[in-house]
């Protein structure tokens, strides 16, 4: 397997790599199921999502991909109305997010298995950050 292109997340004012895929757990209505096509071996999921954490809430702010041959912006196509900031609260997501900060200190040519200088783990419940853990490597 090839190392994968990560999603991006704006966390505490920094643009960082998100080594998790919270969009994968979205299970909206059948007609809105995710229909992305793999782009290349470094992006099997077929998209790169952009996220932000604001006031302890996880938001999806963009998706770069081709979605079901549609010309409608992807967020609007999947979620319908987006809020006035053009983002969607990730209320469907509960789990742990892994964020990379700093240089790669051990590269692994598979998925998101590389190790970084610092890794931030956010525990999220229904789109709300409930715990933060930072590991120095």
Whole-model pTM: value is: 0.83
Model confidence pLDDT, tens digit, residues 78-99? 777 677 777 999 999 999 999 9
DSSP the chain: -PBPPPEEEEETTEEEEE-S-GGGG----GGG---B---BTTBTTS-EEEEEEETTEEEEEEEES-BTT--S-HHHHHHSS--TTS-EE-TT--EEEEEEEEEEEE--SSBT--EEEEEEEEEEETTEEEEEEEEE-
Chain mean position to CA 68? 20
Q: What is the DSSP letter of 59?
A: E
Contacts of 69 (CB under 8 A, 6+ apart): none
Model confidence pLDDT, tens digit, residues 9-53? 999 999 999 999 999 888 665 555 666 777 777 887 888 899 999
Give the start-to-end residue ranges of the domains of the chain. Answer: 7-136
């Amino acid at each position: 397997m090839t190392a994968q292109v990560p999603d991006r997340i704006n966390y505490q004012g920094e643009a960082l790599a998100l080594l998790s895929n919270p969009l994968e757990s979205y299970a909206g209505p059948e007609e809105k199921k995710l229909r992305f096509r793999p782009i290349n071996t470094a992006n099997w999921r077929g998209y790169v999502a952009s996220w932000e954490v604001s006031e302890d809430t996880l938001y999806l702010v963009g998706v770069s991909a081709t979605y079901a041959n549609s010309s409608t912006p992807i967020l609007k196509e999947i979620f319908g109305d987006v809020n006035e900031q053009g983002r969607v609260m990730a209320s469907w997501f509960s789990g742990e997010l892994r964020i990379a900060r700093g240089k790669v200190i051990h590269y692994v040519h598979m998925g998101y298995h590389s190790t970084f200088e610092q890794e931030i783990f956010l525990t999220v419940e229904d789109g709300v950050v409930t715990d933060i853990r930072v590991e120095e490597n």
